[in-house]
Amino acid sequence: MSDLIDLVRAELSTPVDPRVAAMAQAIAAEYPGSARAVLFYGSCLRMSELDGLMLDFYLIVSDYGDAYPKRWMAAANRLIPPNVFPFAHRGLIAKYAVLSESDFHRLNGPETRNVSVWARFAQPSRLVWAVDDTARDRAVAAVARAAPTLLAAAGKVDGEAPLDWWRRAFALTYSVELRAERAGRAQSVVDADTDRYQRFSAPAMAAIPVAARSGAWARRRIEGKALSIARLAKASLTYAGGIDYLAWKINRHAGTKIEIKPWQRRWPLIAAVTLVPRLIKGGAIR
């Protein structure tokens, strides 16, 4: 595990565009006393493009009760993590997800069937802000759990090359969530940086616990899609403009031309609940 932690620490410490670092610091400043770390991940990191795109961050906090002045927001984050919020800073736009340190550690590990966190942090990410060395070390340790969890969940196929194991594992995780991306996106995640996944392969495989269990993907799909719908419904209440963001993301990835009507903005929860089944039926999301 020490080799994997060293790789993760080095990757998380890789410098980023100064605008990304400035935005991360600005996000943390919104949560004085509770912000612990901010991580940058996603397509903007892979493509090294920022302008005109939505950046993706995770904000790690000490405790939900400390992070929010309103109890219902803390309860929502605790019940269906994470809460997601839009953010703008110096001409860039972003969204950030909020998790406590304990949830971030748990959701990167095999103790949860929920793929959303470990599937993302098995991919490259950057630790762009931390309140202190302890917070930094905890973030590194949590992220280092993600890749072994991903590979263990997919299970090893005899004779399978390491890169194909990664590709198959990501394809499985994409099948669990409601995704607007076109077919082949999971493979492109690996193909965007094959050298990285080759470097991570042996250490990640060596860190898989002996008792780790693979499979249960049928159950993961049922639970994952239900959880995705619940998160969309929750986001319509907690995320300002959430219904417009949902339409933007689907249009971008699926090539659709969804336009949100005024009534849907007035009643975003109803809009989210009624929109998702139509999109699944039409194949815009899977």
Tens digit of each residue's pLDDT (9 = 90 or more) over 48-83: 889 888 899 999 999 999 999 999 999 999 999 999
Say what the pLDDT of residue 45 is.
Answer: 93
Has residue 180 got a pLDDT over 60?
A: no
Has residue 2 got a pLDDT over 60?
A: yes
Look up the pTM and report it. Answer: 0.86
Please, are residues 37 and 135 in contact by the beta-carbon 8 Å criterion? Answer: yes
What's the average model confidence in pLDDT over 98-104?
Answer: 98
Please, are residues 92 and 21 in contact by the beta-carbon 8 Å criterion? Answer: no
Domains in the chain (CATH in brackets) are 2-215 (3.30.460.10), 219-282 (no CATH)
Parallel, antiparallel, or unpaired: how do β-strands 35-41 and 125-130 relate?
Answer: antiparallel
C-alpha–C-alpha distance, residues 96 and 98, integer Å: 7
- The overall average pLDDT reported for the chain is 87
Parallel, antiparallel, or unpaired: how do β-strands 54-61 and 92-100 relate?
Answer: parallel
Beta carbons within 8 Å of 168's beta carbon, 6+ residues apart:
154, 157, 160
What confidence tier does 176 reach under pLDDT thresholds 50, 70, 90?
confident
Name the nearest CA neighbour of 128 among 11, 3, 4: 11
